[in-house]
Chain A
């Protein structure tokens, strides 16, 4: 309980901080951008769960993010169906955005994990799948809007009987995204603090050993994979609702790679680290523009390389290291004072 409140608390602080910085820098349009960063932070959380906690590196998580975004778009626009759904399209869209990725992840995961496709092979297959979905999305214009994507995706508006819960304006969207993020982080931390969380740690640390202890590691991996997919899907839906636009490159390898970079930068085995990484990298990209974007991508590649070579645990790791140094110095200071 304590740890999940702590995590949620950290995220709350981050959320407030980002809001302040974004508003001061660019006013309401800054808040609009920041909302997208939070949503991508949610996506990053899903990557952190799969990679940082379960040790499964996937270069294809955006597939679930993109699918979620498309689910929302299909429910709320007339792309796939003749017209948007009659009842609460946004709500259905969000529910579908969790359900479809979960089902897909269940199918793929079942095949891969029971098929003993592990480690680097797993990563390569997710990469291949990612490329595949990207091309599929570009080619299948009817369903995925082809090259131009689907525009005019409406913002979130849910009919709750007594009235309508609608997000109007930058601030309400931001708060909504923040609340969803906080809830997910709190729930996940709770889950990771249970024996199941320990099993996930075991899979990461020494999967074969866990098998010889009698645990069905396939089930543990599958459960984690599916949960990660659902969270990514929800993030996709929120992203679609917020940016009013969905395109097939939201499913592809570029976004998947970016997500890995966010998590690597922020701290892979840390939910708040994931959010922090996403915000930092995205904010950085936002500040630069035009030609500088390509340099930024180059810089990110170099950053990832450096992080891997140095075995770094990201920003969160650095902060923790600093904190440890500070408290060590404090202890030494106290000892000296005590001795004096």
Chain B
């Protein structure tokens, strides 16, 4: 196998990581940017998406149906969470942090009690590999890459679209002012949380056939997506996506040359440096 081919493989694999990370981070970023809530349970929303697929297939649904069900279920959970819990914590950011952390604990333990700690197996809806420059690349991975990029672009477009997009961006930038102008902020908040949850849930469903599905699977995505948000810039969705590219890409590249743990160390160090040098994030317009 030639070096160029290996590199291409690694690029594609990194692309899958970045793609999924973008979906998760978008969900997190919208919630943080709009409501200043750092949702520490976001990783668990991804996990719930993966488990939704497990449940759906036990109930006899096909893998494609399961993949549709997951974001709906987790989106609904997100909506419920916002109405029941998050809405009480808007003026208390550190308390919100603790509360969502407690929530993540509850979700993890709850799933562990229901399903047990052992990993679940999920079959990919698409089997087989495709030939890319002479090397086999799993079709499903390609699918994940493509759909996550497409979905990311769709979400970015949605937030630019008149009416919904403008309203949300207004609330994004100045909630009180937007309210004065008649935008119904509370409804927006629940809606955004639902969207964030749906995105995470869908990401979970996407990666379920590719990774180990167990109760603590969400944690690593949580850290990665927070770093992406911090690095990419808050208040700017495209920036958040850009941050995912930076973080996911860095980790993928470094992990190729050394170990996964070393990659995590370097990526964290890079993130801290960026926060120090440009606190508003790389892609922020401030």
The answer to whether A and B touch in the complex, with CB atoms under 8 Å apart, is yes
Closest Cβ neighbor of A298 among chain B residues: B109
| Chain A interface category by residue count | 35 or more
Is the pair B105, A257 in contact by a Cβ cutoff of 8 Å? yes
Return the chain B residue nearest A138 by Cβ. Answer: B261
Let me know if A309 is at the binding interface, CB within 8 A.
yes
Q: How far is the CA of A295 from the CA of B260 in the complex (A)?
A: 33
Does B177 sit within 8 A of A, measured CB to CB?
Answer: no
B105 touches A127 (CB 8 A): no
B95 near A128 with CB under 8 A, answer no
Task: Pick the interface stretch among A115-123, A186-194, A209-217.
Answer: A115-123
Tell me the bound Cα distance from A298 to B227 in angstroms: 28
Contact A298 B110 (CB under 8 A): yes
Contact B259 A139 (CB under 8 A): yes
Complex interface: stretch among B96-104, B149-157, B167-175, B193-201: B96-104
Contact call A302/B223, Cβ cutoff below 8 A: no
The answer to the question of B38 belonging to the interface, with a C-beta cut-off of 8 Å to chain A, is yes
Which of A57, A132, A260, A298 contacts B268, CB < 8 Å?
A132
**Minimal Cβ-Cβ distance residue in B for A305:** B102
**Would B105 and A253 count as touching, CB distance under 8 A?**
no
B28-63 vs A, Cβ < 8 Å mask (1 yes, 0 no): 000000000010100000000000000000000000
Complex interface: chain A residues within 8 A of B227 (CB): 128
Question: Which residue of A117, A121, A308 contacts B95 across the interface (Cβ within 8 Å)?
Answer: A308
A130 (CB) vs chain B CBs: closest residue? B223
CB-nearest residue of chain B relative to A115? B276
**A116:B223 contact, CB within 8 angstroms:** no
Task: Digitize B69-103: 1 where CB-to-A-CB distance is under 8 Å, 0 elsewhere.
Answer: 00000000000000001001100011101110111
By a CB distance below 8 angstroms, the chain B residues around A129 are 268
Task: Point out the residue from A123, A125, A131, A311 that lies within 8 Å of B219, measured CB to CB.
Answer: A131
User: Is the interface on chain B under 10, 10 to 19, 20 to 34, or 35 or more residues?
Assistant: 35 or more
Closest-CB distance, A262 to chain B (whole angstroms):
13
B88 touching A298 by the CB < 8 A rule? Answer: no
Residue from the list A116, A119, A123, A257 in contact with B276, Cβ < 8 A: A116
B residues contacting A by CB (< 8 A) are 38, 40, 85, 88-89, 93-95, 97-99, 101-103, 105-106, 109-110, 112-113, 219-220, 223, 226-227, 230, 259-261, 264-265, 268, 271-272, 275-276, 279
A54–B24 CA distance with the chains assembled, in angstroms: 33
Q: How far is the CB of B104 from chain A (nearest CB, A)?
A: 8
- The interface residues of chain B lying within 8 Å CB-to-CB of A131 are 219-220, 223, 264
Query: Inside 8 A of B261's CB, which chain A residues have their CB?
Result: 132, 135-136, 139
Q: Number of contacts between A and B (CB, 8 Å)?
A: 99
Report the Cα distance A73→B80, complex, angstroms. Answer: 48
Determine the chain A residues whose CB is within 8 A of the CB of B276 once the complex forms. Answer: 111, 115-117
Interface string of A277-306 (1 = CB under 8 A from B): 000000000000000001101101110110
Task: For residue B265, give the distance in angstroms from its CB to the closest CB of chain A.
Answer: 6
| A-to-B contact residues, CB < 8 Å | 57, 59, 111-112, 115-117, 119-121, 123-125, 127-129, 131-132, 135-136, 139, 253, 257, 260, 264, 294-295, 297-298, 300-302, 304-305, 308-309, 311
Contact A308 B109 (CB under 8 A): no
- 3 closest A-B pairs by beta carbon, nearest first, are A301-B105, A115-B276, A304-B102
Chain A contacts for B89, CB-based, 8 A: 308-309
By a CB distance below 8 angstroms, the chain B residues around A305 are: 85, 99, 102-103, 106
Inter-chain contacts of A294 with B (CB < 8 A): 109, 112-113
User: Contacts A127-B223, A253-B219: A301 and B103 contacting too (C-beta < 8 A)?
Assistant: yes
17 interchain pairs (CB within 8 A)? A111-B276, A119-B93, A120-B94, A120-B97, A121-B230, A124-B230, A131-B219, A131-B220, A135-B261, A139-B259, A294-B112, A295-B113, A298-B110, A300-B105, A301-B106, A301-B109, A309-B89
For A127, list chain B residues within 8 Å (CB).
40, 223
Judge whether B268 and A304 touch: CB under 8 Å.
no
Question: What is the bound-complex CA distance between A120 and B229, given in angstroms?
Answer: 13
The complex places the Cα of A309 from the Cα of B113 at a distance, in Å, of 25
With a CB–CB cut-off of 8 A, which chain B residues contact A116? Answer: 276, 279
Considering the complex, give the chain B residue whose CB is closest to the CB of A297: B109
Q: Does the CB pair A298–B265 fall under 8 Å?
A: no
> B105 touching A297 by the CB < 8 A rule?
yes
Please tell me which one of the listed residues A59, A123, A135, A301 contacts residue B264 in the complex, with CB atoms under 8 A apart: A135
Please indicate which of the listed interface residues A111, A120, A253 has the most CB atoms of chain B within 10 Å of its own CB: A120
Instruction: Give the residue among B103, B112, B261 with the most A Cβ atoms within 10 A.
Output: B261
- Known contacts A116-B279, A121-B230, A127-B223; is A302 also within 8 Å of B97 by CB? no
Closest to B112 in A: A294
Interchain CA distance A57-B98 in the complex, whole Å:
9
> Which of these, B38, B88, B109, B259, contacts A124 with CB under 8 Å?
B38
- From known contacts A59-B101, A131-B219, A135-B264, infer whether A298 and B85 are also in contact, taking CB-CB under 8 Å: no
The closest CB in chain A to the CB of B38 belongs to A120
**Min distance, Cβ A86 to any Cβ of chain B, angstroms:** 34
Q: Shortest beta-carbon distance, A28 to chain B, in Å?
A: 32
A298 touches B113 (CB 8 A): yes
B98 close to A304 (CB less than 8 A): yes
Distance of A283 Cα from B141 Cα, bound (Å): 48
Q: How distant is the Cα of A269 from the Cα of B89 in the complex, in angstroms?
A: 21
Given contacts A111-B276, A305-B99, 5 further A-B contacts (CB under 8 A): A117-B272, A120-B97, A135-B264, A257-B105, A305-B103
Do A308 and B99 touch (CB < 8 A)? yes
Q: Are A119's CB and B94's CB within 8 A?
A: yes
